[in-house]
Amino acid sequence: MDKNQTAETIRPTKKQRQLLTYLEGFIIEHGYSPSYREIMRGCGYTSVATVALHVNSLIKRGHLRKRDHSARSLEVVTADQDESTKITTNQVKVAEEKWLVQKVEHLIGQAESGSPEELAAAIDNIQIVLAALKVLGLESAAQSFSPRLSALKKLATAGQ
Protein backbone atom coordinates (compact mmCIF):
# COMPACT_ATOMS: atom_id res chain seq x y z
CA MET A 1 0.00 0.00 0.00
CA ASP A 2 1.27 3.45 -0.96
CA LYS A 3 2.09 5.77 1.97
CA ASN A 4 -0.41 8.33 0.66
CA GLN A 5 -3.19 5.74 0.47
CA THR A 6 -5.29 5.47 3.61
CA ALA A 7 -7.35 2.56 4.83
CA GLU A 8 -10.50 4.38 3.66
CA THR A 9 -9.37 4.39 0.03
CA ILE A 10 -8.94 0.62 -0.29
CA ARG A 11 -11.67 -0.75 -2.50
CA PRO A 12 -13.64 -3.68 -1.13
CA THR A 13 -13.13 -7.14 -2.58
CA LYS A 14 -15.87 -8.74 -4.68
CA LYS A 15 -17.23 -10.66 -1.66
CA GLN A 16 -17.06 -7.55 0.52
CA ARG A 17 -18.89 -5.52 -2.17
CA GLN A 18 -21.58 -8.22 -2.22
CA LEU A 19 -21.88 -7.92 1.57
CA LEU A 20 -22.13 -4.11 1.36
CA THR A 21 -24.84 -4.35 -1.31
CA TYR A 22 -26.77 -6.86 0.81
CA LEU A 23 -26.48 -4.60 3.88
CA GLU A 24 -27.69 -1.52 1.99
CA GLY A 25 -30.72 -3.39 0.65
CA PHE A 26 -31.57 -4.94 4.01
CA ILE A 27 -31.32 -1.60 5.84
CA ILE A 28 -33.49 0.16 3.24
CA GLU A 29 -36.12 -2.58 3.45
CA HIS A 30 -36.21 -3.09 7.23
CA GLY A 31 -34.88 0.14 8.74
CA TYR A 32 -32.18 -1.64 10.74
CA SER A 33 -29.13 -3.72 9.93
CA PRO A 34 -29.19 -7.52 9.72
CA SER A 35 -27.68 -9.89 12.25
CA TYR A 36 -24.47 -11.71 11.32
CA ARG A 37 -26.49 -14.89 10.82
CA GLU A 38 -28.86 -13.08 8.43
CA ILE A 39 -25.84 -11.74 6.53
CA MET A 40 -24.44 -15.27 6.37
CA ARG A 41 -27.65 -16.60 4.83
CA GLY A 42 -28.19 -13.60 2.56
CA CYS A 43 -24.67 -13.68 1.13
CA GLY A 44 -24.38 -17.46 0.96
CA TYR A 45 -21.54 -17.79 3.47
CA THR A 46 -21.16 -21.03 5.40
CA SER A 47 -19.96 -19.53 8.67
CA VAL A 48 -20.71 -16.56 10.90
CA ALA A 49 -16.95 -16.24 11.44
CA THR A 50 -16.57 -15.43 7.73
CA VAL A 51 -19.15 -12.67 8.12
CA ALA A 52 -17.28 -11.29 11.15
CA LEU A 53 -14.00 -11.36 9.20
CA HIS A 54 -15.49 -9.40 6.28
CA VAL A 55 -17.37 -6.97 8.54
CA ASN A 56 -14.26 -6.21 10.62
CA SER A 57 -12.22 -5.70 7.47
CA LEU A 58 -14.85 -3.35 6.03
CA ILE A 59 -14.91 -1.39 9.30
CA LYS A 60 -11.10 -1.02 9.21
CA ARG A 61 -11.27 0.08 5.57
CA GLY A 62 -13.91 2.68 6.38
CA HIS A 63 -16.76 1.17 4.36
CA LEU A 64 -18.81 0.20 7.43
CA ARG A 65 -19.40 1.79 10.79
CA LYS A 66 -20.63 0.03 13.94
CA ARG A 67 -22.57 2.21 16.35
CA ASP A 68 -22.01 1.74 20.09
CA HIS A 69 -21.00 -1.93 19.74
CA SER A 70 -24.65 -2.95 19.95
CA ALA A 71 -26.59 -5.54 18.00
CA ARG A 72 -27.85 -4.64 14.51
CA SER A 73 -25.85 -1.43 14.48
CA LEU A 74 -23.95 -1.64 11.19
CA GLU A 75 -24.10 1.37 8.87
CA VAL A 76 -22.78 1.53 5.32
CA VAL A 77 -20.51 4.56 4.88
CA THR A 78 -20.85 6.24 1.49
CA ALA A 79 -18.19 8.36 -0.19
CA ASP A 80 -20.09 11.61 0.31
CA GLN A 81 -21.07 10.81 3.90
CA ASP A 82 -19.22 12.04 6.97
CA GLU A 83 -19.95 12.68 10.64
CA SER A 84 -21.01 16.27 9.97
CA THR A 85 -23.76 15.32 7.50
CA LYS A 86 -26.83 17.33 8.35
CA ILE A 87 -30.45 16.41 7.75
CA THR A 88 -31.62 18.77 5.04
CA THR A 89 -35.23 17.65 4.79
CA ASN A 90 -38.00 16.29 6.94
CA GLN A 91 -38.78 13.60 4.37
CA VAL A 92 -39.00 10.31 6.23
CA LYS A 93 -38.49 6.99 4.46
CA VAL A 94 -41.04 4.21 4.92
CA ALA A 95 -38.60 2.11 6.96
CA GLU A 96 -37.82 5.10 9.18
CA GLU A 97 -41.52 5.81 9.69
CA LYS A 98 -42.10 2.18 10.63
CA TRP A 99 -39.22 2.35 13.14
CA LEU A 100 -40.51 5.61 14.66
CA VAL A 101 -44.05 4.26 15.02
CA GLN A 102 -42.72 1.11 16.70
CA LYS A 103 -40.74 3.25 19.16
CA VAL A 104 -43.81 5.34 20.00
CA GLU A 105 -45.87 2.16 20.37
CA HIS A 106 -43.24 0.82 22.80
CA LEU A 107 -43.16 4.10 24.75
CA ILE A 108 -46.95 4.16 25.13
CA GLY A 109 -47.00 0.46 26.05
CA GLN A 110 -44.48 1.11 28.82
CA ALA A 111 -46.58 4.01 30.12
CA GLU A 112 -49.75 1.90 30.09
CA SER A 113 -48.10 -0.86 32.10
CA GLY A 114 -45.99 1.42 34.30
CA SER A 115 -46.57 2.73 37.78
CA PRO A 116 -48.89 5.69 38.46
CA GLU A 117 -45.92 7.67 39.83
CA GLU A 118 -44.14 7.50 36.46
CA LEU A 119 -47.25 8.27 34.41
CA ALA A 120 -46.97 12.09 34.37
CA ALA A 121 -43.38 12.01 33.10
CA ALA A 122 -44.29 9.35 30.54
CA ILE A 123 -47.19 11.47 29.24
CA ASP A 124 -44.85 14.46 28.84
CA ASN A 125 -42.39 12.33 26.87
CA ILE A 126 -45.13 10.90 24.68
CA GLN A 127 -46.45 14.39 23.89
CA ILE A 128 -42.95 15.50 22.87
CA VAL A 129 -42.47 12.46 20.63
CA LEU A 130 -45.89 12.92 19.00
CA ALA A 131 -45.08 16.60 18.34
CA ALA A 132 -41.83 15.46 16.70
CA LEU A 133 -43.79 13.08 14.47
CA LYS A 134 -45.92 16.02 13.33
CA VAL A 135 -42.82 18.10 12.58
CA LEU A 136 -41.50 15.22 10.47
CA GLY A 137 -44.73 15.21 8.46
CA LEU A 138 -46.20 12.11 10.07
CA GLU A 139 -49.46 13.74 11.21
CA SER A 140 -51.58 10.63 10.66
CA ALA A 141 -49.20 8.50 12.71
CA ALA A 142 -49.28 11.06 15.53
CA GLN A 143 -53.09 11.24 15.36
CA SER A 144 -53.40 7.48 15.56
CA PHE A 145 -51.91 7.59 19.07
CA SER A 146 -54.28 10.35 20.33
CA PRO A 147 -56.93 8.01 21.81
CA ARG A 148 -54.32 6.11 23.81
CA LEU A 149 -52.73 9.36 25.00
CA SER A 150 -56.16 10.64 26.09
CA ALA A 151 -56.76 7.41 28.01
CA LEU A 152 -53.39 7.82 29.75
CA LYS A 153 -54.26 11.41 30.70
CA LYS A 154 -57.59 10.26 32.18
CA LEU A 155 -55.78 7.54 34.10
CA ALA A 156 -53.30 10.11 35.45
CA THR A 157 -56.03 12.50 36.61
CA ALA A 158 -58.02 9.64 38.19
CA GLY A 159 -54.93 8.53 40.09
CA GLN A 160 -54.38 11.96 41.65
Identify the weakest region by mean pLDDT among 62-66, 87-91, 145-149. Answer: 87-91
pLDDT on residue 61? 87
Domains of the chain with bracketed CATH: 7-76 (1.10.10.10), 94-158 (no CATH)
CB 126 within 8 A of CB 149: yes
pLDDT on residue 84? 46
Q: What is the pTM of this model?
A: 0.47
What is the chain written as a DSSP string? --TT--GGGSPPPHHHHHHHHHHHHHHHHHSSPPPHHHHHHHHT-S-HHHHHHHHHHHHHHTSEEESTT-TT-EEEPPTT--TTPPP------HHHHHHHHHHHHHHHHHHHHS-HHHHHHHHHHHHHHHHHHHHTT-HHHHHHTHHHHHHHHHHHHHT-
CA 150 – CA 131 distance, rounded (Å): 15
What is the average pLDDT value for the chain, to the nearest integer? 82
Whether residue 114 is predicted with pLDDT greater than 80 in this model: the reply is yes
pLDDT on residue 30? 81
**Which pLDDT tens digit goes with each residue over 9-36?**
578 888 888 999 999 888 888 888 899 9
**Which pLDDT tens digit goes with each residue over 29-59?**
888 889 999 999 999 999 999 999 999 999 8
pLDDT on residue 91? 73
